[in-house]
């Protein structure tokens, strides 16, 4: 069944090579998923060799886990490792059909990334962003071809979370959207089309309850109580474990984006900001002390 709002699947372009900008945690998880499900070459780029090596190393280690679990044969594991490579320059994207960025959540940085990518790729190449909260329309404003920019928002862990938020900016065209939906299907995700609104849909909900849990602790509820306050909902993780998984800086960025857009509906935790500013965000503590891990 065609997802609500998805265009005619016949419009989708074939994706024969994928580029991933960034080689961090989300980017390298995405690279593995693209290689595994699309069975096409995937090139990661990042600012320096150490980051690239870490990203490619992560992919290799995850492939070894698949092999050990019997989820991949030795041949498949070898092929998967060979499909994922790293490059320090974006020239490696010249023949890519789908380039996705997962760099720092900063509009100016992402705009710069897409300027560089657009200088290299063909006019047909889809440009996708894994942003969790920034505006697609603003991100594409200075592109020569803003119609090929689309939001393609994964959830962490990428291999496990079933949902993909696909975001249509003001200029995104149907060919791009259809390619995004077809790619989501190949990745075996269930895709939903969401409006280009601050934090889209999932992170608004997440920020509602996470914001309230953090606020409860800030206001004096013991951490141990707050940590289990959501057990009744059957969620797979406690709130502060989830904050660690998402990354406090990312959580803070989403909260601040929502606070700026809807100040009467979303608060901003000063304590979370302090924790992130301290530079070594450990387990959340109401007294701001940082867990050494």
Q: What is the binding site for ligand CAA (CB under 6 A)?
A: 132, 155-157, 159-161, 203, 206, 236-237, 242, 245-246, 250
C-alpha span between 256 and 214 (Å, rounded): 14
CB of 156 to ligand CAA, least distance (A): 4
Please tell me the distance from the alpha carbon of residue 109 to that of residue 92, in angstroms, as a whole number: 20
Are the C-beta atoms of 274 and 286 separated by less than 8 Å? no
Nearer to ligand CAA, 63 or 250 (CB): 250
Looking at the Cβ atoms of 10 and 160, the one nearer to ligand CAA is 160
Least distance CB 68 / ligand CAA (angstroms): 10
Q: Which is nearer to ligand CAA, 97 or 244 (CB)?
A: 244
* Rounded CA separation 183/198 (Å): 24
Count of beta carbons in the 10 Å neighbourhood of residue 4: 7
- What's the Cα-to-Cα distance from 257 to each of 10, 107, 135, 158, 189, rounded to whole Å? 36, 11, 10, 23, 26
Closest distance to ligand CAA from the beta carbon of 258 (Å)? 12
What's the min distance (Å) between Cβ of 199 and ligand CAA?
8
Give the H/E segment covering residue 255.
helix 248-261
Which H or E run contains 226? helix 223-227
From 101, 105, 165, 227, the catalytic residue: 165
Min separation Cβ 11 and ligand CAA, Å: 28
Cα-atom radius of gyration of the chain, to the nearest Å?
19
Q: Which residue is closest to ligand CAA by CB?
A: 132
Distances (CA, A) of 140 to 53, 108, 205: 30, 11, 26
Could you confirm whether 39 is annotated as catalytic? no
Residue located via tokens 């280690």:
61
Name the residues annotated as catalytic.
165
């Amino acid at each position: 069944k065609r997802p609500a709002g998805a265009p005619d699947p016949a419009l989708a372009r074939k994706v024969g090579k994928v580029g991933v900008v960034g080689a961090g945690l989300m980017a390298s998880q995405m690279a593995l998923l693209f290689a595994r499900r699309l069975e096409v070459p995937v090139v990661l780029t990042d600012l320096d060799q150490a980051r690239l090596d870490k990203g490619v190393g992560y992919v290799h280690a995850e492939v070894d886990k698949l092999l050990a679990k019997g989820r991949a044969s030795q041949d498949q594991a070898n092929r998967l490792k060979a499909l994922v490579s790293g490059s320090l320059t974006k020239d490696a994207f010249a023949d890519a059909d789908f380039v996705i960025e997962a760099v720092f959540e900063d509009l100016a940085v992402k705009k710069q990334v897409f300027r560089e990518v657009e200088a290299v790729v063909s006019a047909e190449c889809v440009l996708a962003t894994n942003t969790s909260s920034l505006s697609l329309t603003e991100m594409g404003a200075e592109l020569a071809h803003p119609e090929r920019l689309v939001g393609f928002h994964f959830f962490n862990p990428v291999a496990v979370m079933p949902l993909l938020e696909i975001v249509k900016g003001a200029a995104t065209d149907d060919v791009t959207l259809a390619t995004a939906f077809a790619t989501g299907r190949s990745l075996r995700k269930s895709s939903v089309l969401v409006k280009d609104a601050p934090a889209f849909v999932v992170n608004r909900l997440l920020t509602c309850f996470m914001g309230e849990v953090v606020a409860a602790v800030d206001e004096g509820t013991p951490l141990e109580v707050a940590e289990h306050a959501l057990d009744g909902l059957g969620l797979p993780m406690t709130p502060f474990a989830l904050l660690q998984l998402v990354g406090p800086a990312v959580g803070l960025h989403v909260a601040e984006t929502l606070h700026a857009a809807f100040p009467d509906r979303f608060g901003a935790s000063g304590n979370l900001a302090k924790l992130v500013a301290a530079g070594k965000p450990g387990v959340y503590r109401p007294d701001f002390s940082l867990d050494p891990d």
